[in-house]
Amino acid sequence: MCGILAVLGCADVSLAKRARIIELSRRLRHRGPDWSGIHCFQDCYLAHQRLAIMDPASGDQPLYNEDKTVVVTVNGEIYNHEELKAKLQSHKFRTGSDCEVIAHLYEEHGEEFVDMLDGMFSFVLLDTRDKSFIAARDAIGITPLYLGWGLDGSVWFSSEMKALSDDCERFISFPPGHIYSSKAGGLRRWYNPPWYSESIPSTPYDPLALREAFEKAVIKRLMTDVPFGVLLSGGLDSSLVAAVASRHLAETKVAKQWGSQLHTFCIGLEGSPDLRAAKEVADYLGTLHHEFHFTVQEGIDALEEVIYHTETYDVTTIRASTPMFLMSRKIKSLGVKMVLSGEGSDEIFGGYLYFHKAPNKEEFHRETCRKIKALHLYDCLRANKATSAWGVEARVPFLDKSFINLAMDLDPEWKMVKRDLGRIEKWVIRNAFDDDKQPYLPKHILYRQKEQFSDGVGYSWIDGLKDYASQHVSDAMLMNASFVYPENTPTTKEGYFYRTIFEKFFPKNAARSTVPGGPSVACSTAKAVEWDAAWSKNLDPSGRAALGVHDAAYEDAPEKTTVPANPIAASGFAVTGAVEFTAASPASA
């Protein structure tokens, strides 16, 4: 991941303003520690902090067309850049960067080229010939982007809120699958797949087609000129990513440079069960496995940094981001700059345990649509910002555009939990990779019950965080929360505690409005809470809140635990960096 900052239409064009843009851009340097660049044209500034994954030697940004009249600053990866370059024979490319193709596509097609891009991206492009500009974000919002407005009439774009929050009067999270055009005067949606309308599909289940589509999604993400690995929790999703990457690595270009043995990573407390599960999968696949350990106190000590980097006060996003943040630092220390992760599977296939209570296939499908549309506010935000905090890029094969379109075109009847037919959650993807002749994974891993990441790290982690927050937030503080925080009022002491930290870093009204709220049970959207009357009395994003579904479900409400003076110090659990990393909340995973 890189960091981009663009300011267009400034009233002040002094050297002091240029220095200010550079200063703000430095707030993104954790995302791109390898190089910095800035292009100034009259009252427009495009700045870039680079994490060099492709063409480290010559791919510095901003990037240009042949005569430098088109300038672009990009955060992301364009997986089909070679295919696109082949169609641009009349153009001269200056670098080996996959992102340079954007400038040339604009020359050929104007603003209507974004849907040609296969990848994850946020970019701002300036056409100096008429001083027009466009900005766009990928289909699902894997890469972050914010849009702001200055009092002087300037328009701002930034990878993270921290680079524009001080200088913008108002700012928002740039919506995924949209383009901003200065010519058209605003935002419009460029990504319009059939599932977006939430109409119910009827395509029959084809396990082989689903398997092949996912394998292609993983293979295309092995495009890199630097060392990489896979975040492996031992759960289904991360294990499938690792299994496919391991099986096909030897036949890719990257194997010639970095070898054909896959690196896998996990983190946890000593002796945690998920660490054992991850090691079991790694041993089965023959990966070079890296197991990191940390203490609960280290996780608590990192909370302020985590909230600063993730720019959220959503409870479960913070619960799940903390171990991922710590693990990313360890991974970077090994010289690894890119990892594959497994976000998105639970949204696409209805993998959360509350989906067991979906009343019919229509409601099931609509809920998956709602979940995918909100991923950029939860799991995509967490996976990107927790890793980018240490200059590591996370790629997510389950959120491949072609794979999503195929999976979401499947008749949702096949995705529903049917215990009488032996179908558990995510049965369609489990069955697609159930190959007796050339098994991808052991059966007990392939059919392991879903755990949300913040649960899977150990229930004591969540209970301990609640108790830690209780020591810092009084009953009176929570009682008056609606007066102190009238917007998205925290309803728990844990939520209140995170909110106070967030407000310290981001005190503006616009900042708190970038974080969504609403009731949730076991990661559901607010709409799905209506599926079971009992859930409205037990609104907690933990999977255990799915009463009557989870094997370790709360018997009534989550019971409180008493912690010693050193909070949650004695608990043991696994914290793994992988697909099962789910932030939870109204629309997370």
- Binding region for L-glutamine: 98
286: left (phi over 0), alpha (psi -120 to 50) or beta: left
Q: How far apart are CA 495 and CA 299, in angstroms?
A: 17
Q: Is 214 within 8 Å of 240 (Cβ atoms)?
A: yes
Q: How far apart are CA 396 and CA 373, in angstroms?
A: 16
Q: How far apart are CA 187 and CA 184, in angstroms?
A: 8
Question: How would you classify the pairing of strands 35-41 and 44-50?
Answer: antiparallel
Binding site feature residues for ATP: 231, 267, 341-342
Tokens representing 246? 């391991």
Q: How far apart are CA 206 and CA 203, in angstroms?
A: 9
Q: Is 70 within 8 Å of 61 (Cβ atoms)?
A: no
Helices within 286-378 (DSSP H only)? 296-301, 303-310, 315-333, 345-349, 361-373
Q: How far separated are the first and last CA of the chain, in Å rounded? A: 21
Phi, psi of 407 (to 5 degrees): -65, -35
Q: Give Rg (Cα) of the chain.
A: 23
**DSSP per-residue codes, 485-545:** --SS---SHHHHHHHHHHHHH--SHHHHTTS-----STT--TGGGGG-GGGGG---SSGGG
Of 48, 42, 43, 44, nearest to 25 (Cα)?
Answer: 48
Of 124, 114, 19, nearest to 72 (Cα)?
Answer: 124
Question: SS in 3 state form for 94-148?
Answer: CCCCHHHHHHHHHHHHCCCCHHHCCEEEEEEEEECCCCEEEEEECCCCCCCCEEE
Residue 462 in 3-state DSSP? helix
2 included as an active-site residue: yes
Q: Is 576 within 8 Å of 310 (Cβ atoms)?
A: no
Bond from prior residue into 62 cis (ω within 30 degrees of 0): yes
Catalytic residues: 2
